[in-house]
Amino acid sequence: MNSKTIFSWLFILSSCALLAIGRVYEERLFIYNVNLAILISIIYLVLVCFLLFSINRIVLSRTKFLFYLFYIVLFLTTCILWVVFDLTDFGFENFFNFWAILVPISVVIIEKYRMKDVLNTFYVLLVVCCFLAFLSVIGLSVSERADGRTATLGGGPIVFARWMGFGILTLFLLPSRLKKWYKYPLIITFFILAISSGSRGPILSLLMTGIVYLLINFNRIFVKGMFLIGLLSIIVLFFNIDKKISKIGNSDRVFMNISKTGGSTQSTSTRKNLVIGSFSILKKYPLGVGPGNWQIMANKIQPHHLMPLEYPHNLFLEIACEYGLHSLFLFLILLLYVIPLSYNRMQKYLKDKTSLYPLLFYLMVFLFLNSMVSGMLNDSRLLFIVISFILINKPLIASQHVNNL
pLDDT for residue 189 is more than 60: yes
pLDDT tens per residue, range 17-33: 999 888 888 776 666 67
Higher pLDDT, 3 or 268: 3
In this predicted structure, what is the pLDDT of residue 65? 95
Higher pLDDT, 120 or 179: 120
In this predicted structure, what is the pLDDT of residue 178? 59
Mean pLDDT score, 37-49: 91
Cα separation of 115 and 101, whole Å? 22
> Domain-by-domain residue ranges, the chain?
3-118+226-400
pLDDT for residue 98 is more than 90: yes
**In the chain, % of residues over pLDDT 90:** 40
pLDDT for residue 107 is more than 80: yes
| pLDDT band (50, 70, 90) for residue 259 | very low
In this predicted structure, what is the pLDDT of residue 138? 73
pLDDT for residue 311 is more than 50: yes
Highest mean pLDDT among 89-93, 127-131, 362-366: 362-366
Mean pLDDT across the chain, nearest whole number?
Answer: 82
Nearest to 360 by CA among 175, 188, 95: 175
pTM: 0.86
In this predicted structure, what is the pLDDT of residue 362? 96
In this predicted structure, what is the pLDDT of residue 3? 75
In this predicted structure, what is the pLDDT of residue 405? 39
pLDDT tens per residue, range 125-168: 999 999 888 887 776 555 454 444 555 555 677 888 899 999 99
In this predicted structure, what is the pLDDT of residue 402? 40
In this predicted structure, what is the pLDDT of residue 229? 63
**Residue 284 CB: number of other CB atoms within 10 A?**
11
In this predicted structure, what is the pLDDT of residue 25? 80
pLDDT for residue 73 is more than 90: yes
Listed range (109-118, 128-137, 173-182, 184-193) with the worst mean pLDDT: 173-182
Distance of CA 397 to CAs 220, 346, 355, 357, Å? 22, 11, 4, 8
pLDDT for residue 372 is more than 50: yes
SS (H, E, C) 17-66: HHHHHCCCCCCCCEECCEEHHHHHHHHHHHHHHHHHHCCCCCCCCHHHHH
Higher pLDDT, 237 or 49: 49
**Chain centroid to CA 281:** 26
Highest mean pLDDT among 26-40, 164-178, 340-354: 340-354
Higher pLDDT, 193 or 325: 325
pLDDT for residue 334 is more than 90: yes
Mean pLDDT score, 293-297: 88
pLDDT for residue 9 is more than 60: yes
Mean pLDDT score, 270-285: 86
End-to-end Cα, the chain, rounded Å = 14
